[in-house]
Amino acid sequence: MAMPTLGILGSGTGSNMQAILDAIEAGELEARIALVLSDNPNAAILERAREKGIRAEVIDCRGHLMKFPEEAQQEMARRLRDAGVDLVCLAGFMRLVKRPLLDAFPSRILNIHPSLLPAFPGLEAWRQALEAGVLESGATVHLVDAGMDTGPILGQERVSVFPDDTPQTLHARIQLAEHRLYPEMIGRYAAQLNP
């Protein structure tokens, strides 16, 4: 895959999408973002994408706050395929991806998670790390499977936990690690798929 076409799924501010975009613009990642999709019509990720001239659309989750209805996933898969997407990158996407999206993009959906998986899957992993009293946490890029943050790990970056850390300070340092790690792992994985 000489130059992968990316589809980004996000629910929030889009800082990881911005890091991917920055890496592309700096020539550090050879890729193109074709489409950004969000389950949250008010997500800042949509505005960030539109400001850069990237197609950004909302996925209708039929009024469900957490569940990801099958029809919504089918619609998402269709839109990603229609946009010519090779790799799907979850960037703060807060719903659990299942079939048919997994079937539409087998081993082609990546996620960034704010912990050293398999430790602390799920929500607010930085808070879980602090509550557990660990000395280090970090960020993990992994392939998405049907479980919660259980897919094969592609890469990790470690972040020290300091005695005076709050959830906010630790999360901010983990985000810096995410922003370095995600573009690098996207490039490396795309190169493996089609050298």
Q: pLDDT band at residue 1, thresholds of 50, 70 and 90?
A: low
Q: pLDDT of 7-52, one tens digit each?
A: 999 999 999 999 999 999 999 999 999 999 999 999 999 999 999 9
pLDDT at 3: 87
Q: Known catalytic residues?
A: 113
pLDDT at 195: 53
- Tell which residue, 150, 149, 173, has the closest CA to residue 161: 173
Q: What is the pTM of this model?
A: 0.95
Q: pLDDT of 143-191, one tens digit each?
A: 999 999 999 999 999 999 999 999 999 999 999 999 999 999 999 999 9
**Can you tell me the distance from the alpha carbon of 94 to that of 96, in angstroms, rounded to the nearest whole number?**
7
Q: pLDDT of 87-139, one tens digit each?
A: 999 999 999 998 889 999 999 999 999 999 999 999 999 999 999 999 999 99
Structural domains in the chain plus CATH codes: 5-124+138-158+180-193 (3.40.50.170)
